[in-house]
Amino acid sequence: MGLHLGDAAPNFVADTTDGEIDFYNWKGDSWTVLFSHPADYTPVCTTELGRTAALKSGFDERNTKVLALSIDPIEDHHGWAPDIGEVFGTALNFPIIADPDHKVAELYDMIHPGEGDTSTVRSVFLIDPANKIRMTMTYPKSTGRNFDEILRVVDALQIADQYEIATPVDWQPGDRVIVPPDVSTEDARSKFSNVEEIKPYLRWADNPAK
C-alpha cells in the first residue's frame, strides 16, 4: 500500500552525507521536505539539488528541513557534491541519503518499475512537525521540479494550520485567502477582515498573516 495524505511518515535510520541519522530525531519539530532523485552525476538532478541549496535560507525561515535521497552509495554523493557547488554557486548544505539497499525508497514507494530501472523517480513528501504527510508530488525522471512551488505549498499549509483558512489557485504569501466551507459567513466576519461573499460557498478574506 502506498502512503497517503494524513498518514504518519515512516521513520528510518539511514546513512547520509552528514552521517547516520534517525529520521524522526533528525527532523525534530520541524517541517521536512523529503525528496528523491534518480541518480548522482546526472544533469537534471544536479540542477535540482543546486536550486534547493540556493533556497536553503527560505526553507530555514519556514522551520523546514530538506533531505534528499538516491540509491547511489555514499561515496558517490560525496564525490558529486562539489559539482553542485561549482555549477550553481551554492555548496551542498543539506544531507543526501545513500540508499543502495532501497530500504527507504521502498518504504516511501519511490521506485516505479514502469519507469525502466530500479532508480528512484522524483518523489516529494512534505511532512509536518507531527510527522504527518501533508503533500506529495511525483515527477517523471526527465522533468525537473519547481522548488519555489514547494516553498509556496509550505507557506500555504502553515498559514492554513495557523488561521484555519484555505488558499485559492495560484495563491502567494500576502494574497487574500478563502474562508473554509464549514465556517458561516457570519462567523467568518467575526474572525477575518474584509470578508467578501462571491457565492454562499466562496468567500474571500484579507490575509490574516499580513
What is the DSSP track for 155-193? Answer: HHHHHHHHH--B--TT--TTS-EE--TTS-HHHHHHHSS
| 3 state SS of 32 | strand
In a domain, 5, yes or no: no
Per-residue confidence (pLDDT) for residue 116, from 0 to 100: 62
Q: What is the reported pTM?
A: 0.94
Residue 1 pLDDT > 60? no
> How confident is the prediction for the chain on average, in pLDDT?
94
Residue 28 pLDDT > 80? yes
Note whether 36 and 95 are same-domain residues: yes
Per-residue confidence (pLDDT) for residue 119, from 0 to 100: 78
Per-residue confidence (pLDDT) for residue 196, from 0 to 100: 96
Q: What is the CATH number of the domain that holds 128?
A: 3.40.30.10
Note whether 50 and 117 are same-domain residues: yes
Query: Annotated active-site positions, please?
Result: 45
In a domain, 140, yes or no: yes
In a domain, 2, yes or no: no
CA distances from 39 to 1, 43, 65, 122 (A): 25, 9, 21, 10
pLDDT band at 198 (very low <50, low <70, confident <90, very high): very high
Note whether 198 and 133 are same-domain residues: no
In a domain, 1, yes or no: no
In a domain, 159, yes or no: no
**pLDDT tens column, 160-170:** 999 999 999 99
In a domain, 158, yes or no: no
Note whether 46 and 97 are same-domain residues: yes
In a domain, 176, yes or no: yes
Note whether 36 and 120 are same-domain residues: yes
Per-residue confidence (pLDDT) for residue 118, from 0 to 100: 64
Instruction: Name 67's bridge partners.
Output: 34
In a domain, 178, yes or no: yes
Provide mean pLDDT across the span 33-37.
97
Note whether 97 and 132 are same-domain residues: yes
Instruction: Name 35's bridge partners.
Output: 68, 124
Note whether 63 and 140 are same-domain residues: yes
**pLDDT tens column, 105-162:** 999 999 887 666 667 889 999 999 999 999 999 998 889 999 999 999 999 999 999 9
Domain that holds residue 191: 164-205
Residue 192 pLDDT > 60? yes
Note whether 61 and 122 are same-domain residues: yes
Please give the tally of structural domains in the chain. 2
